[in-house]
């Protein structure tokens, strides 16, 4: 096992990884920006080292500084968490060149699957269903428009190197297509440094269902069931639950096998997620693969009893999977609500500031993944998520009841949060009946932007 792991991340995921390492007897190194000097992950790790100024590009995205910190502290592995450099093939490659173990898949795999258009080609070659579309070279706007008409409106214009809901536009006619093509291209260039686009038929009112997979270095791949991630705002997940109430055992097995085929097709190693769109006729289509731990991984842990971060560490140091597919049994129901420092009354505007009062919920079946504390100053320069509330029950109703109770107890003074918005979702008829899709929040719950 590794002797020392550097966590190339911040916030609750850095704390989550530090805790797993401590339980396994592994020393940890926290890296931090100047804005995060007093952050919880710097206090919990065995060592902490500053890697640059507040802006992410100068610190958490600074490959040279992170690798230098790893060498300086003698860490033999890097866990990237999620976001930042977690899906950056250049970073994973440089780790290998520096003889530092990257806790994740090989850089070649990240490169293949990170390009969404290339990923579609790979999935089609191994008979994993994909949404009808075009992932070849688009010559210009006129060529793109011609392709859009062939696919048939509505069409999604998507960044090949995209993620996090960036570089995506939906077009319902020629005029919207041309405008969407220009803006998606510009956004893709600004966010990812790559303005390559591809086109997909827009699946109307789908569910977003993803499968967690684990794969070792010996060709063994298993899935750990699915997560229902359809509760989204602007392509960003707000609430997740597991398992999905629309899948029966036959569909779960079929989608799970497709997820495993997808992982095998790219020689995947470590933890990953295969994301599918699921339509009203029970058809499912590959959307993308995330080559990292997910924000919502705790709900899978709750219904399987498997610590995914510990499994990541074991796989990365060469151990075989200790489970077969037959060993995986889903038990009960889990829900995760993302608590953000934002103002739902004003277009979910981020609300950084100092936490003046804090009451964190607890009790049986309640888990809090967070890095906040009373007196903590939330920086303005990072994502607004400050905590994840996870509840577990014997069934969906019990998990909902526990989540309502937990959120009602959760008090954060000094900054605005989306806690009441999450409670309103839990009280909605559609959520209670499990009758919602990715369009639900935009159509039913969110006030239209001024």
Report the catalytic residues: 292
Q: What are residue 138's phi and psi, to 5 degrees?
A: -100, 120
Residues whose CB falls within 8 Å of the CB of residue 289, separated by 6 or more in sequence, listed in order: 113, 119, 262, 263, 266, 272, 273, 274, 275
Residue labelled with tokens 């033999």: 76
If we measure between CA atoms, which residue out of 309, 307, 266 comes closest to residue 286?
A: 266
Phi–psi pair at 55, nearest 5 degrees = -60, 135
User: Which pair of structure tokens corresponds to residue 410?
Assistant: 């959760």
Largest CA distance in the chain: 59
Q: Is the separation of the CB atoms in 370 and 387 below 8 Å?
A: yes
Find out whether 296 and 335 touch, Cβ atoms under 8 Å: no
Closest CA to 372 of 317, 320, 332, 410: 410
For the chain, what is the total number of helices (H) and then of strands (E)?
15, 23
What is the rounded CA–CA span in Å between residue 162 and residue 119?
Answer: 12
What H or E segment, with its residue span, contains residue 182?
helix 174-192
Rounded to whole angstroms, the Cα distance separating 321 from 260 reads 14
Q: Where are the beta strands (DSSP E) in 380-449?
A: 385-393, 411-413
Contact between residue 198 and residue 134 where contact means Cβ atoms under 8 Å apart: yes
Q: What is the spatial distance between Cα 110 and Cα 64, in angstroms, rounded to a whole number?
A: 20
Find the angle CA(247)-CA(220)-CA(20) to the nearest 5 degrees. 80
Contact 274, 221 (CB under 8 A): no
Q: How far is CA 32 from the centre of its chain?
A: 21
d(CA 253, CA 237) in angstroms, rounded, equals 24
């Amino acid at each position: 096992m590794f002797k020392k792991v550097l966590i190339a991340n911040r916030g609750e995921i850095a704390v989550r990884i530090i805790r797993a390492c401590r339980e396994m007897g592994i020393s940890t190194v926290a890296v931090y920006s100047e804005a995060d000097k007093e952050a919880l992950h710097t206090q919990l790790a065995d060592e902490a080292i500053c890697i640059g100024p507040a802006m992410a590009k100068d610190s958490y995205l600074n490959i040279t500084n992170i690798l230098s910190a790893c060498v300086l502290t003698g860490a033999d592995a890097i866990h990237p968490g999620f976001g930042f450099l977690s899906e950056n093939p250049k970073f994973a490659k440089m780790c290998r060149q520096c003889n530092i173990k990257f806790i994740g898949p090989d850089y070649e795999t990240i490169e293949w699957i990170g390009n969404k258009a290339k990923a579609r080609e790979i999935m089609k070659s191994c008979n994993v269903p994909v949404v009808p579309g075009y992932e070849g070279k688009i010559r210009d706007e006129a060529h793109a428009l011609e392709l859009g008409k062939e696919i048939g409106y509505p069409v999604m214009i998507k960044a090949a190197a995209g993620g996090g809901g960036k570089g995506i536009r939906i077009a319902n006619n020629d005029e919207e297509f041309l405008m969407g093509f220009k803006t998606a291209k510009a956004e893709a260039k600004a966010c990812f440094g790559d303005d390559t686009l591809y086109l997909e038929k827009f699946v109307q009112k789908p569910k977003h269902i993803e499968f967690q997979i684990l794969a070792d270095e010996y060709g063994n791949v298993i899935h750990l069931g699915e997560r229902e991630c359809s509760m989204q705002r602007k392509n960003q997940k707000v609430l997740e639950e597991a398992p999905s109430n629309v899948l029966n055992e036959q569909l779960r097995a079929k989608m799970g096998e497709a997820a495993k085929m997808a992982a095998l097709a790219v020689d995947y190693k470590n933890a990953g997620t295969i994301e599918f769109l699921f339509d009203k006729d029970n058809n499912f289509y590959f959307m993308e693969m995330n080559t990292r731990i997910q924000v919502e991984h705790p709900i899978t842990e709750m219904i399987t009893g498997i610590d995914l971060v510990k499994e990541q560490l074991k796989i990365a140091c060469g151990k075989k999977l200790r489970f077969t597919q037959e060993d995986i049994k889903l038990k009960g129901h889990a829900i995760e609500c993302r608590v953000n420092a934002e103002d739902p009354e004003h277009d979910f505007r981020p609300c950084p500031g100092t936490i003046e009062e804090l009451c964190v919920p607890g009790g049986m079946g309640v888990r809090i993944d967070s890095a906040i504390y009373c007196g903590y100053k939330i920086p303005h320069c990072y994502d607004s998520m400050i905590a994840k509330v996870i509840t577990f029950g014997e069934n969906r109703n019990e998990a909902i009841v526990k989540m309502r109770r937990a959120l009602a107890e959760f008090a954060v003074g000094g900054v605005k949060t989306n806690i009441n918005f999450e409670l309103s979702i839990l009280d909605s008829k559609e959520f209670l009946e499990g009758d919602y899709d990715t369009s639900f929040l935009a159509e039913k719950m969110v006030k239209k932007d001024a």
